[in-house]
């Protein structure tokens, strides 16, 4: 009888303990946030991911009444910063600013220390931007057709810069090579800022870059814009044809951004963040500012974002295989 009573007390204590944990979890999520939030950007400072992480972070700071800080952790094609977040506590205080680099890397770099859809949960999409194919004025090219003619006559003579393997800038170049039937050498950098600097300086002849970060250099003549990568012309560069218009029919490539959190982050926290970010995106002044930069807001629920990620992984798996792109190219 004594043994039975001890066992009964143990079972009751366990039940009470589990109940306390179960009630504490929603309470913690309800109180969120109670300390600063960190957005890890696995790309170099100055690129679209860094710029829009800071934009969203500043406004989340006001909405959540806690500081939201941006932590740039570039390297290894986004893997260093991404792995840092994957190994972080799933409590909503460490978030990942990610892009289609991550969906590309699911195929391009198979030996990663994480898997996107296994180790993260979708939080919110941010925006997407067309890219623009630019060349240094010293090339003399004024159209996509001229570039293609030269590249076909001089295989391996042209170089294009990117912010690293698997990034949208890299894959835009590989897709262009595949669809145009040209041999152009990829020059990977550790971030878009370094790649952009060398194209502006003429050390590398060309680059696919985000419209928001390269359009002003096109206007001032530091580079020549040959084509944009969307389905229709960019409102920021209306006089520049799409690459599809310019002769590579059906060509399309964009850069999109989103936020993810470590797997296990409470749904209440994910939904709170998603709601606050959607409020920011839907502000008329934000939409106007972004559209003026060439960035289009993307508003999705976490569930919709999850389906979008699954589809993008499949899309880029096909393109990586068709283009023959390698992580060390």
pLDDT reported for residue 75 = 87
Distance CA(115)–CA(263), nearest Å, equals 11
pLDDT reported for residue 321 = 87
In a 13 Å sphere around the CA of 284, the CA atoms on its Cβ side amount to: 0
Contact status, residue 208 vs residue 176, Cβ threshold 8 Å:
yes
pLDDT reported for residue 10 = 52
**Domains contained in the chain, CATH given:** 34-128+256-323 (3.40.190.150), 130-228 (3.40.190.10)
Distance CA(295)–CA(128), nearest Å, equals 6
pLDDT reported for residue 3 = 44
pLDDT reported for residue 25 = 46
Distance CA(94)–CA(119), nearest Å, equals 13
pTM above 0.75, yes or no: yes
Contact status, residue 39 vs residue 95, Cβ threshold 8 Å:
yes
Instruction: Report CA 161 to chain centroid distance, whole Å.
Output: 18
Where the chain has pLDDT below 50, the residues are 1-5, 7-8, 11-16, 18-27
The pair of three-digit structure tokens given for residue 82, joined into one six-digit string: 């991404």
Contact status, residue 221 vs residue 136, Cβ threshold 8 Å:
no
């Amino acid at each position: 009888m004594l043994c039975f009573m001890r066992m009964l007390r143990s079972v009751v204590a366990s039940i009470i303990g589990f109940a306390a944990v179960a009630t504490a979890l929603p309470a913690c999520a309800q109180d969120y946030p109670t300390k600063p939030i960190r957005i890890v950007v696995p790309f170099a400072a100055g690129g679209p991911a860094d710029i829009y992480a800071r934009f969203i972070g500043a406004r989340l700071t006001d909405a959540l009444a806690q500081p939201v800080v941006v932590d740039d952790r570039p390297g290894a094609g986004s893997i260093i910063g991404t792995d840092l977040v994957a190994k972080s506590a799933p409590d909503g205080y460490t978030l990942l600013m990610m892009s289609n680099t991550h969906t590309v890397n699911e195929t391009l770099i198979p030996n990663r220390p994480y898997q996107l859809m296994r180790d993260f949960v979708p939080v919110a999409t941010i925006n997407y931007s067309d890219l623009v194919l630019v060349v240094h004025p010293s090339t003399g090219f004024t159209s996509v057709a001229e570039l293609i003619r030269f590249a076909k006559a001089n295989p391996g003579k042209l170089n294009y810069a990117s912010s690293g393997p698997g990034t949208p800038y890299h894959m835009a170049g590989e897709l262009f090579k595949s669809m145009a039937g040209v041999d152009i050498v990829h020059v990977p950098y550790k971030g878009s800022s370094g790649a952009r600097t060398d194209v502006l300086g003429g050390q590398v002849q060309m680059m696919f870059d985000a419209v928001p970060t390269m359009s002003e250099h096109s206007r001032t003549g530091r580079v020549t814009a040959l084509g944009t990568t969307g389905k229709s012309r960019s409102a920021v560069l209306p006089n520049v044809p799409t690459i599809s218009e310019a002769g590579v029919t059906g060509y399309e490539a964009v850069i999109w951004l989103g936020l993810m959190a470590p797997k296990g982050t409470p749904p209440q926290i994910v939904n709170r963040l998603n709601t606050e970010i959607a409020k920011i995106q839907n502000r008329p002044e934000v939409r106007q500012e972004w559209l003026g930069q060439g960035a289009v807001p993307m508003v999705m629920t976490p569930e919709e974002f999850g389906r979008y990620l699954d589809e993008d992984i499949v899309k880029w798996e096909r393109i990586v295989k068709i283009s023959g792109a390698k992580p060390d190219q």
